[in-house]
Amino acid sequence: MKLSVVIATYNRPALLRRLLSQLADQTLPAEQYEVCAIDDGSTPPAAESLADLGLPYALQLLRQENSGAASARHSGVRAARGEIVLFLDDDMQIGRDFLEQHLAAHGAGRAVVLGRIKADPGLSGMPLFERWHSSLLDRKAESIARGALAPQGNLLFTGNASLRREDYLAVGGFDGSLPHSEDVELGLRLEKAGVPFRFCDGAWTLHGSDHTSIGKWRSRARLYGDCDRRIAGKHPDLRQASPWRFVFDLHPLARPFLAAAVLAPAAAGKAVGAGVRLAALADRVGLRRAALGSTTLAYAMEYFRGVREAAGSAPQALEELLDFAGRFERSAAAVALLALREDQAVMRNYQARYGHLSPSRGDLPSDVLEKIGLQIMAGYRLMRALRDRGSTSAAKAVSRLIRHLYGSDIHWEAKFEPGVMLVHGMGLAISGEARVGRGCILFQHVTLGMGIDPETRRPGAPSLERNVHVGPGATLIGPITVGEGSKVMAGAVLTRSVPPGSLVETPTPEVRPRKSDGPPLRAVPAA
């Protein structure tokens, strides 16, 4: 027995019968394969619809109480006698050489073989969300075929995949606690166990889903988000295990919508409803690309609503995102997020040292909402992220927005290292050539302006080394360097470099009695 086909089925008697019949018409000799069909508690039992079905191959028809697809497939593998186990969904259709194609792919050596899942051309009337799913699978298959996407564990879909039974059992099989994404999680364990993945375009299936409820589709999207977050906890060392990768992999224009799904899930749910209606309208008038794009966005928002619900709170979700970015990402967006977290850490450190400052709640969203200085830094980090990815016009727009909202003019070319604190933040004037080091504190109405060195005639702006404090109203001009740990007192004007550990202060103001040539002032009685 070379091959065992494992099919989990639930309340799909006609579709199961169709697939078993197609398995009877294979180019592979019937004695070389068997089919293990597991009825996961169907009503009525699947066996009743198959009694008159004469099949040339060995059929094991097993029945269990309804326990989910993962449990059913695992039961099928345990009962299988073949060296190779091939998973098929009960709503698939196959070609005559399907089994031979899978076996041939295994002839090249140990592997998980991923077959191609195509949309059933005879079911063009499928709901938009199912056609969207089919187009997504098509794009992935085409990317694999041209070498743009490597076959790997998170691409394991049990609708059409095969592997050695020995490898399946060695990694423990499906995780039955996962109602969805159990195939992806199995793929990740197989990948970590060193089993290579291989794509076989010739081992194709046709997929024609019988799902019709948009409400259930949305619920499944949220459940996938929940399950994928749980999988990330099981595999924290794998980028492709985390749902947060989509924040960086999807188009940047999608990020505000994903943020809304995490920060305001209820409002995002209403937006998804509107997006689904918009997609349906676009589909009806023939705007296929717009319809699929709107469906992608709707699914992504529902998915991240599920991630947010599983996390329990927006701050916890954001901490998970920041943790993911710190371990796996080097993009401009990830750098900006991590830098903002360091800005918050510096703020909290100084709050601990100087108890008179209003305390931080500890989570980043609340601090950004309540601390004006951190709000400005969030705007600056966004501005720099846009600038660093080449979106200079957008960076300029954010610079102007900061000016109008907070009365602070911060140039998009100004460079602040991660871990900078702004106190109050209004009235800042920061040149594009200014540089501010980690641990620096800038109070309100600070100027770091362009100027010319009186000796070298070189133009430039100030550079603050680490842990420099600049008090309210201080003005620093020209290509000067303020050494690490220095403090520039309120109202000081500085036009030359100072060494580390310097204290820069203005002369103490003279206080003397006020003189007047007229008679003494008298208090004005109240009206």
Mean pLDDT by 10 residues, the chain (527 residues): 95 94 96 97 92 91 94 96 96 96 94 92 78 88 90 93 97 94 96 96 88 91 97 95 94 90 95 94 93 94 97 92 91 90 91 66 82 94 92 94 96 96 95 96 96 88 97 96 96 95 90 75 64
- Three-state SS at 50: coil
User: What pLDDT is attached to residue 365?
Assistant: 83
User: What pLDDT is attached to residue 156?
Assistant: 95
pLDDT single digits (tens) 395-408: 999 999 999 999 99
User: What pLDDT is attached to residue 302?
Assistant: 97
User: What pLDDT is attached to residue 423?
Assistant: 93
Q: Which amino acid is at 23?
A: L
Residue 87 in contact with residue 161, Cβ under 8 Å? yes
The stretches of 264-331 forming alpha helices (DSSP H) are: 265-284, 288-311, 314-328
User: Distance (Å, rounded) from C-alpha 448 to C-alpha 464?
Assistant: 9
- Three-state SS at 140: helix
Beta-carbon-side half-sphere exposure of residue 423 (alpha carbons within 13 Å): 20
User: What pLDDT is attached to residue 410?
Assistant: 97
Domains of the chain: 3-211 (3.90.550.10), 234-328 (no CATH), 332-504 (2.160.10.10)
- Three-state SS at 93: strand
User: What pLDDT is attached to residue 366?
Assistant: 84
User: What pLDDT is attached to residue 286?
Assistant: 92
Tokens 């508690």 belong to which residue?
41
Burial class (CB in 10 A: 0-12, 13-18, 19+), 72: buried
Q: Torsion angle, CA of 84/85/90/92, rounded to 10 degrees?
A: -40
User: Distance (Å, rounded) from C-alpha 522 to C-alpha 476?
Assistant: 44
User: Distance (Å, rounded) from C-alpha 37 to C-alpha 525?
Assistant: 99
Residue 401 in contact with residue 407, Cβ under 8 Å? no
User: What pLDDT is attached to residue 457?
Assistant: 85
Residue 343 in contact with residue 420, Cβ under 8 Å? yes
